Amino acid sequence: MTHIRHLILPAALLAAGFAGPAAAADPSGQALFAHYCAPCHGDSNGPGTQQLRRSRGADKALLVERTDLAADYIQYIVRHGLKAMPPFVPSDLTDAKLRTLVSFLTSPLPRTAKDQSTLPPP
Amino acid sequence: MAEPLPPGLTAERMSDALARFRKIVGKDWVFVDDRVASYHDPYTVPNDAGLHRAHAAVAPASSEEVQALVKVANELHVPLWTVSRGKNFAYGGAAPVLSGSVVLDLSRLNRILEVNEKFGYALVEPGVSYFDLYQYIKDRGLKLWIDVPDPGWGSVVGNALDHGVGYTPYGDHFGMQCGMEVVLANGEVVRTGMGALPGNNTWQLFKYGFGPYVDGLFSQSNFGIVTKMGIWLMSEPAGYRPYLITFPREEDIEQVVEIVRPLRLNNVLQNAATIRSLVLDAALFTTKSQYYPGKGPIPDSVAKQIMADQEIGMWNFCGALYGPPAITDVLWSTTRDAFASIPGVKFYFPEDRKRRPDILIHRADTMRGIPKLTEFGFLNWNGGGGHVGFSPVSPITGQDAIRQWRMVSGRVREHGFDYMGLMAVGFRELHHVTVIVYDQNDPAERQKLDELFRLMVREAAAEGYGEYRTHIHYMDTIAGTYGWNDNALMKMHQRIKDALDPNGILSPGKSGIWPRHLREAKKA
């Protein structure tokens, strides 16, 4: 392959599985969870899952299986962090994305997590 | 608490600046009041809550917006603390050295401008994360590997500028940087190296261009704002074979490092391999309370139990072989023969590891450039969540390695923490990175950490060891140890700072470099 001059696209949007202007995009909560949360909370071995298992118990370890999380609480933790989890800045995980993410995490079960940290090698 | 103002700036002037910032970037991208909380250091060290607190944050989406913001900041003398993505969490995250600064958050400059498979490079903006670049390459099926530090959500640009390291043969990130675009404090845009030649096609191929090589001036510095950067990428090798070698005694580090040096200098060790301590590796997937209910560092009996349970050693050497089997077979036999003389040594390939999760299975991903956040698991070791890195550099000699290990592990344990260290093998040096995991919500523990850190800096400097990188709270302290010839290097930094940024608006205090007016205020 010779020089690849790709169109200039927001990288985070590409990573979330779609392309196009940010304003027009409406990524699904599942895709946002995969991008922002799954590297720590996606499976049973993630550091976020381990922390929750340790502090809250095995039945509350996996975020996608939780039914007890209030929307306000999720938003607060995402913006302020908790223990080892640092906060997410609003320039990256925007308020609109956060609302979609919260909708996903408070939607009826079952939900699935796509763990970006376990994607196959290139 | 109300967010502080920077020294010498009135509330009215700050308000004026923020209003003008909103006109440049849009009202949704200036963050004040409770929206600033996300920019605080999540693993704060000092007990003085007024330190290292931003007043606001502004997030531009283009170099042009950065230029416009800088011009306003210059006019109104507003300090801007630049972060690429603000994920440098062991070293302060997005928080500024100087309280009252406005964080210039470059997360929205997140374009991957070019990925070139033929020549093996990418040109990216500072908001691009390792996850982003990895996914981009994977989606297009390009035969390229990236090199990642342990946390994959960080900025490719920011990590290189802070002299971060990874674990493939391209592990020296700033060494793999080629060509920058920089916004200076006066708003002017500069391209370095070949980028200064109009119409060139070698900006990401040849670092030096013509004349002084200036790229280093923009790393760990506050002389400009890097808005584009080239990074060399590794071609996918014909073969890949990660391995783990374990050693049963802490004192083995002396012999291990003596063996490592000639292997590294002869390129038998191809990658930026790491020699990791027991607790650092054990903490990725288990917690202290699973093994030891007491306070303070784990005793030897517990260490031995962890070694047996997890099939790891007191030191664990993680490396990898890259290339066709005809080459890697020879490299492996040479490596294995070299280490075989150490009593109790054990050799593993991934197929030998049956436990899940497992340290080699995890690091096999990292050493091939797959970004992850798995290493954050060590923060769960004692549940406190906080961590700070202490990172002195040493020659690759057994004598230096064991001296450093004794100094650091001794002090860390005296202060009640477990030693969680690694020695990353560079081209000619070891980065001895020790993470101190502490309870960030316990003021007494933070105080103890602060005393420990300052003591270790002093003792390391007395032995001729300096840190290569540090937390925002210790930048002055570390800079002070680089004082040869009456602080000649810092004086030169200050002259450059005053020339390029006479109003001192860019990241005051970064790496201990303060603008003239704040130097004079500190003296007074």
- Separation CA B189–CA B183 (nearest Å): 5
Contact A92 B107 (CB under 8 A): yes
Tell me if B466 sits within 8 A of B512, measured CB to CB. no
For B151, the closest chain A residue by CA position comes to A39
Rg of the Cα trace of chain A? 16
Question: Could you report how far apart the first and last alpha carbons of chain B are, in Å?
Answer: 28
Using the beta-carbon criterion (under 8 Å), do A91 and B105 form an inter-chain contact?
Answer: yes
- Edge-to-edge order in the sheet of strand B102-105: B30-31, B56-58, B102-105, B80-83
Distances (CA, A) of B134 to A7, B112, B233, B267: 17, 11, 11, 26
Nearest CB partner across the interface for B376, out of A1, A47, A88? A47
DSSP annotation of B3:
P
Element (H, E) at B478: helix B475-481
Is B469 one of the annotated active-site residues of the chain? yes
A 10 A CB-CB count for B266 gives 9
Cα-based angle B198, B201, B203 (whole degrees, multiple of 5): 80
C-beta neighbour count of B335 within 10 angstroms: 24
C-alpha separations of B507 from B16, B75, B119 in Å: 20, 16, 35
CA angle, B351 as apex, B347 and B356 as ends, to 5°? Answer: 100
Q: Are residues B106 and B60 in contact, defined by beta-carbon separation less than 8 angstroms?
A: yes
Q: What is the DSSP annotation of B19-77? A: HHHHHHH-GGGEE-GGGGGGGS-TT---S-TTTT--SEEE--SSHHHHHHHHHHHHHHT
What is the Cα–Cα distance from B76 to B11, expressed in whole angstroms?
12
What is the pairing mode between strands B30-31 and B56-58? antiparallel
* Positive/negative CA dihedral, A36, A42, A48, A53: positive
| Predicted local distance difference test score (pLDDT) of residue A119 | 39
pLDDT in tens, chain B (524 residues): 688 999 999 999 999 999 999 999 999 999 999 999 999 999 999 999 999 999 999 999 999 999 999 999 999 999 999 999 999 998 999 999 999 999 999 999 999 999 999 999 999 999 999 999 999 999 999 999 999 999 999 999 999 999 999 999 999 999 999 999 999 999 999 999 999 999 999 999 999 999 999 999 999 999 999 999 999 999 999 999 999 999 999 999 999 999 999 999 999 999 988 999 999 999 999 999 999 999 899 999 999 999 999 999 999 999 999 999 999 999 999 999 999 999 999 999 999 999 999 999 999 999 999 999 999 999 999 888 899 999 999 999 999 999 999 999 999 999 999 999 999 999 999 999 999 999 988 999 999 999 999 999 999 999 999 999 999 999 999 999 999 999 999 999 999 999 999 999 999 999 999 999 999 888 77
Question: Longest C-alpha distance within chain A, in Å?
Answer: 53
User: Do the chains contact at B118 and A8, CB–CB below 8 Å?
Assistant: no
Q: Is B346 left (phi over 0), alpha (psi -120 to 50) or beta?
A: beta
Q: Is B11 near chain A, with CB under 8 Å?
A: no
Let me know if B348 is a catalytic residue: no
Phi first, then psi: what are they for B82, rounded to 5°? -85, 130
Low-confidence ranges of chain A (pLDDT < 50): 1-26, 115-122
Q: To which H or E segment does residue B116 belong?
A: strand B112-116
CA distance to partner chain A, nearest, from residue B220 (Å): 22
Known catalytic membership, residue B438: no
Question: Residue B107: which of A3, A15, A89 has the nearest Cβ?
Answer: A89
CA-wise closest residue to B457 among B484, B434, B424, B440: B434
User: What pLDDT is recorded for position B1?
Assistant: 67
Extract the tokens encoding B323. Answer: 């290339």
Say which amino acid occupies B320. Answer: A
